[in-house]
Structures are given as C-alpha cells and as structure tokens.
Amino acid sequence: MADADRLDSWKEIASYLRRGLRTAQRWERDAGLPVRRVAGNSGAVYAFRAELDTWWQRRSLDGDGPAAQAVVTAAGRGVVRADPAVPAARPRVRPFLSHDLRVDPDSARGHADLAVYFFTLTMVGLMPPDEGLPAARGAAGRALQLDPDWAEAQAMLAVVAALYDRNWVEAERRWCLAFAREPVPAMVRFHYSPFFLEPLGRYAESLANLEPALAAEPLYLLGRVVRATGLYAVGRVDEGLAEFELVCRVDPQFAPAVGTLAREYALAGRLDEAQAFAERAYASAPHHPNAAGMLAGILELTGDRDRVRSILEAHGRERAWSLPRARAEAALTCGRADVAIDYLADAVAARDPGVWLLFACSARALLRATRRWPAVRAALHLPPDIP
C-alpha cells in the first residue's frame, strides 16, 4: 500500500478513528483492529487507512461496531456514566431520545458533543434546566479529563457558568481557555457570541468574532442567525433582515430564523406575514417555547383566542418548566413588553438559559426599557454598566 495510506503511531491511528488512544488499543486487543508492529521494535505500530475502513464497515454491519461499545446515560446531578446496565439512570434522558445515545467512553470529542446535545435539549424546551445543564457540565468535564486541551468542552463549561450559574467571571476564565490554542474551532466562536458577548452588550466584538467562524462554516445557519441578531443590535437592521431572509431561502423551515422574523413582522404590524412565518416555525418545532409563544402572541393579535389558549395550555401540560418563556414570548410578540418582563423574570428564576432568545433584534430595546429590567438584570448577575 502507498505510504500516504499509512498511519505511523497509536496517536495517528486513534485520531483517524476519532477515538481515544486506549479505545484504539482495546479494539486491537479485543476486536481485531488491524494494527501492525514494526519488526524489531515491539512498541512501534502502524496501520493502513484502507484496512481500518474495511474493519470498521465489517464490524458495523455485524451489529458490533465501534458505536456499540458504550451507551452513555445521564443520571441525577448530570453525572454521565458509560454503563448500559444501569436502568435507573436512563429515565432521566430516554424520554427525549428516539434511541439509545452511544458515545465512546474514551472519546473527548464524543463527550464534548454530548455536552452540546444536553445544552441544546434544554434550549429548545425538551429538557429542564436543572437536568440538562448539569448533564452538559458533566459531559464537558469528562471530555476535559480525557483531553485537557479540548476547546469545545471548555466552551460548554463557559456556557453553563454564564447561563446557569450566572457566574460571568468564571465564564470568562473558561472562554480564555477555549481560545488558548489556534486555530480556534468554529463551534467555539459560534457559542461565544450569543452566550457571552451579546448578553454583555459587546455586539461589535461579537460580529468580529463570527467572521472567521462563518468563513470556515458558511452554511452553519445558526451562526448566520446569530450574525443577523448582532447586525440588528449595532443598527444595521437592513443587513440583519437580509441575513435572516438568506437563511430562510436556504432552509424555509429553519425555526430560529423563521420564528425571529415572525416576531419582527408582528412588531412592525405585518400580521399576515408574521402569522405565516410563525405557523412554519411552530410546525417545525412545536415543543419549542419560543415557537409556541410567538404563534400564540400573533393569534392574540388576530383575535383567535381559542387557539391561543389551546397552544399555551398544551405547552404547559407537556413541559410546564418552560411555560414562563413561552408566555413571555407571546406577550413580547404582541408588543406588551411590560407583561413579557414579568414572565421573563419567572423564567430567569427557573434558570432557563433560553431567556436570552427573547432579547433578539427589536425585542431587546423593548425589554430593557421596562420598569422591571434593572431587577431582572440583577437576577442575571449582569454587570451594572450593562444598559
């Protein structure tokens, strides 16, 4: 085989497999991973990519591939364990999953991705904050045990510190660690802007931070939504609107863009367009508290109160913990920021990280102009110089 196909160390082999060193060695010992040894040097190994690919495909087809080596579950207090034989741990997570979540117990990448997964479940209303964010912290912490330099894991610990603990000093320390090595991963930058820079009012810095990330990942639509909200915040509203519309052309059902446009259209009095966009967002993500709230708010404006009641009551039955965010979104979409801030305060008290979605675009100024904003700002532990 060609030298270009050859991997010349355990580190290179493990990296190619996207697994930890110990996992690759265990697979060679127990599962026949095709690793060769250099004659006369028992410690030196090498392998060929083509042979590894063939092994991987064969094991996967047999139902005993690498993905079947570990089942990761989350138990109380966010402890992440690689033990498929612990049935008591599963009910905390299984209701939110269509299948068992399988992660290599020796993979820093796998645990860092798992942290993002738990955080995302919480943001979209599928997992309560007191379960989802400690679970994200546990998974990110395990990733750093496996690889102390894993930037994405540091980023998730920073997100949890800011949005759950409201400890902005610790969050900044973690962000410094996440940015310590070049190149900074695009996903680190995509979390840094909306979950640290924007809450602190550093919008110009947020836009600058996004530029290299979007250059690397131009079709990461959530990153483009964050850029659009940043453009709104610095007064470049037409550019922000164009960015949102670009995302909607790429994916007409992408709820973060479609929903935000629905709110903007409602606040501008364009109710027909607002309802059309809100219906699309709700159809894409009916579990999402912001999607439910936006549609309910627009239906309130059109006079369909029976449907408003039906949407909010159903949301409260299924996930009561996120109902304050949904009600805040409904009031905000109606332009009743003084009512929205009261519900927002309840969501803040529940440590719902999704409260920051309510501050996007025109809504930010409305909320921060209310009488109760100084108290909510204090509850979020934001610095007093944040307007």
Residues across the chain: 387
The pLDDT of residue 179 is: 97
Q: How many CB atoms lie within 10 A of CB 377?
A: 16
Give the separation between CA 307 and CA 202, rounded to whole angstroms: 39
The pLDDT of residue 64 is: 43
* Domain assignment of residue 202, yes or no: no
Q: Are residues 91 and 50 in the same domain?
A: no
For 117, 182, 254, the CA distances from 132, given in Å and listed in that order, are 9, 30, 23
* Domain assignment of residue 298, yes or no: yes
Q: Are residues 34 and 156 in the same domain?
A: no
The pLDDT of residue 77 is: 29
Give the separation between CA 281 and CA 337, rounded to whole angstroms: 22
Q: Are residues 76 and 53 in the same domain?
A: no
The boundaries of the domain holding residue 18 are: 3-68
Q: Are residues 55 and 77 in the same domain?
A: no
Q: Is residue 233 within 8 Å of 220, Cβ to Cβ?
A: no
* Domain assignment of residue 43, yes or no: yes
For 152, 262, 316, 331, 332, the CA distances from 293, given in Å and listed in that order, are 31, 11, 11, 8, 9
Q: Are residues 116 and 54 in the same domain?
A: no
User: Which tokens go with 79?
Assistant: 């402890």
The pLDDT of residue 19 is: 75
What ranges in 62-150 are assigned the alpha helix state H? 108-123, 129-146
Q: Which helix (H) or strand (E) holds 164?
A: none
* Domain assignment of residue 206, yes or no: no
Q: Residue 248: what are its φ and ψ, rounded to 5°? A: -70, -30
Question: CATH number of the domain that 41 lies in?
Answer: 1.10.10.10
Question: CATH number of the domain that 298 lies in?
Answer: 1.25.40
Q: Are residues 93 and 133 in the same domain?
A: yes
* Domain assignment of residue 247, yes or no: no
Domain C-terminal end among 35, 68, 101: 68
Q: Tell me the pLDDT of the chain (387 aa) as tens digits.
A: 556 678 989 888 888 887 777 778 888 887 888 999 877 666 788 898 888 888 876 664 444 444 333 333 333 323 333 333 323 333 233 333 333 456 778 889 999 999 999 999 999 999 999 999 999 999 999 999 999 999 999 999 999 999 999 999 999 999 999 999 999 999 999 999 999 999 999 999 999 999 999 999 998 999 999 999 999 999 999 999 999 999 999 999 899 999 999 999 999 999 999 999 999 999 989 999 999 999 999 999 999 999 999 999 999 988 889 999 999 999 999 999 999 999 999 999 999 999 999 999 999 999 999 999 999 999 999 988 776
The pLDDT of residue 293 is: 96
Q: Are residues 272 and 339 in the same domain?
A: yes
Write the single-letter amino acid at 375.
Answer: A
Q: Are residues 258 and 387 in the same domain?
A: yes
* Domain assignment of residue 192, yes or no: no
Cα-to-chain-centroid distance, residue 188: 11
Domain C-terminal end among 182, 200, 218: 182
Q: What is the largest CA-CA distance in the chain?
A: 83
Q: How many helices (H) and strands (E) does the chain have?
A: 19, 5
* Domain assignment of residue 200, yes or no: no
Domain C-terminal end among 150, 182, 214: 182
Does the reported pTM lie above 0.85? no
- The domain total for the chain is 3
* Domain assignment of residue 208, yes or no: no
Q: Are residues 143 and 35 in the same domain?
A: no
Query: Quick one: CA dihedral 78, 129, 146, 169, positive or negative?
Result: negative
Write the single-letter amino acid at 80.
Answer: V
Cis check for the bond before 289: say yes or no (omega within 30 of 0).
no
Q: Are residues 264 and 382 in the same domain?
A: yes
Which 3 state secondary structure label does DSSP give 136? helix
Q: Are residues 266 and 383 in the same domain?
A: yes
Q: Are residues 176 and 97 in the same domain?
A: yes
The pLDDT of residue 23 is: 78
